[in-house]
Amino acid sequence: MDLLLKASLGAAVVVLLAILAKTRNYYIAGLVPLFPTFALIAHYIVGKGRSVADLKTTIVFGMWSIIPYFVYLTALYLLVDRLRLELSLALATAAWLVAATLLVMAWVRFH
């Protein structure tokens, strides 16, 4: 049942994005992925299964995780005028993966 609830939340977000993309306020679709749907789930799971200190560490790491998302958005913004949408999205995702990998490596090394 727990897994079904998580899958339903994810599906609801996708439906909301599709609906918003068709409205005159289409740009709000860029805000929806930042709603902490999955962060709420992660924080609940960590908060229930680990210590408060571990939850706070998870929260701080989440704050740093904004950097790879910013890298993704920057790459996409710069590429979307020059390349096909699909290639722009793929390269922006690759940039996110590189930034996320560097973040995890730095976190493990310095935290």
Q: pLDDT tens for residues 13-66?
A: 889 899 989 999 899 888 887 888 789 989 999 999 999 999 999 999 999 999
Q: Does 40 fall in a domain?
A: no
Predicted local distance difference test score (pLDDT) of residue 10: 81
Residue 42 placed within a domain: no
Tell whether 110 and 75 lie within a shared domain.
Answer: yes
60 shares its domain with 30: no
Together in a domain, 64 and 28: no
pTM: 0.79
Give the range of the structural domain holding residue 7, as residue numbers without chain letter: 1-35
The number of distinct structural domains making up the chain is 2
55 and 28 together in one domain:
no
Nearest residue to 95 (alpha-carbon basis) of 73, 63, 64: 73
Quickly tell me which residue has 């994810």 as its tokens.
10
Backbone dihedral angles phi then psi of residue 85, each to the nearest 5 degrees:
-55, -45
Q: What distance in Å separates the CA atoms of residue 88 and residue 62, rounded to the nearest whole number?
A: 25
In a domain, residue 45? The reply is no
Give the per-residue pLDDT at 7.
Answer: 87
Q: What percent of the chain has pLDDT over 90?
A: 69
Q: How many other CB atoms are found less than 10 A from the CB of residue 20?
A: 16
Q: Is residue 46 part of a domain?
A: no
